[in-house]
Amino acid sequence: MEFKDLELVDLEELLLVFNTSFSDYVVPFHLSLEQLELKIALEKIDMNLSVGVFEFDKLQGFILQARKEENGKHIVYNAGTGINPEYRGKGLVRKMYDFILPVLKEKNADVLTLEVIERNDPAIRAYENLGFKITRKLLCFSGIIELKEKNTAVSIEEMDNFQWKVFQSFWDITPSWQNSNAILTDREKRYKILGAYKDQQLVGYAVYNPIARKVSQIAVDKNYRRQGIGTELFRIIEKLTGGQSVSVNNVDDTSENTAVFLEKGVGLKNWLSQFEMKKEI
């Protein structure tokens, strides 16, 4: 077997292994080539930092990785690990990490992070054996938006760019990797940035991906909560979805008010929970 980065990998070959690997996953799913390309673009996956295991020049397993700098630390995110079923039980995930860790250290990486489904006990144990530790629980919501009362005192306007300094002042929790500022930045044209205004003051916002029908971020000024502002943001998102299902992934479970709002106020269901895990290197 040979281990090497994925710089020259054929995406159709990667797609085949990806879909085979996740066909019997805890939550099975299947990507098209277009969806894989979108995942690589949106999550800023770096094929030079990603690693594959090959036998007879044929890809049998992979770890897709991306990198960002945040608060002075270089963080590397595992955006997906997959092994063809017949190659499992051979310690290939550990061997792929053993191969790529020196490369990451050369690039001054400080932290490895990933998400794993809460009930995927074998994967959790495997990552713990590699030195990862659970840092928080993340909730995933999806469903058809169902709203009630309308607040006519709030106006929603599309914004041209991210106003991170103001947005972050509304936060109670830090977004996960896929929804973080560093990942969304430079991808503004892929998103709808919605600002909520009351008396011409920005009091809330939402970042929505119309292609994936995902809400990446939503927050309301602490002084203006429980006034229907989040509801009005979702009212516009509802129009943008055309009545189709929408998702809000990786909500920190310590934000109980957000979870209650998404379930009781918006009508979404918490269909999946994940653990965020990290390893210092």
Q: What pLDDT does 249 receive?
A: 96
Q: What pLDDT does 70 receive?
A: 85
Q: Pick from 180, 236, 239, 169: which is nearest to 202 by CA? A: 169
What is the rounded radius of gyration, in angstroms, for the C-alpha atoms of the chain? 20
Structure tokens at 227: 């006034």
Strand-pairing partners, residue 274, are: 117, 138
Regions of the chain short of the pLDDT cut 70: 188
Domains of the chain, first to last? 2-109 (3.40.630.30), 141-273 (3.40.630.30)
Type of residue at 273: S
User: Is the Cβ–Cβ distance between 98 and 131 less than 8 Å?
Assistant: no
Q: What pLDDT does 149 receive?
A: 76
Q: What pLDDT does 179 receive?
A: 94
Location of structure tokens 């006519």: 152
Write down the pTM of the prediction. Answer: 0.91
Phi-psi region of 279 (alpha: psi -120 to 50; beta: other; left: phi over 0): beta
Q: What pLDDT does 24 receive?
A: 86
Q: Measured between alpha carbons, how far is 11 from 47 in angstroms, rounded to an integer?
A: 11
Q: What is the pLDDT of residues 141-184, one digit of tens each?
A: 999 999 987 877 899 999 999 999 999 999 999 999 999 998 99
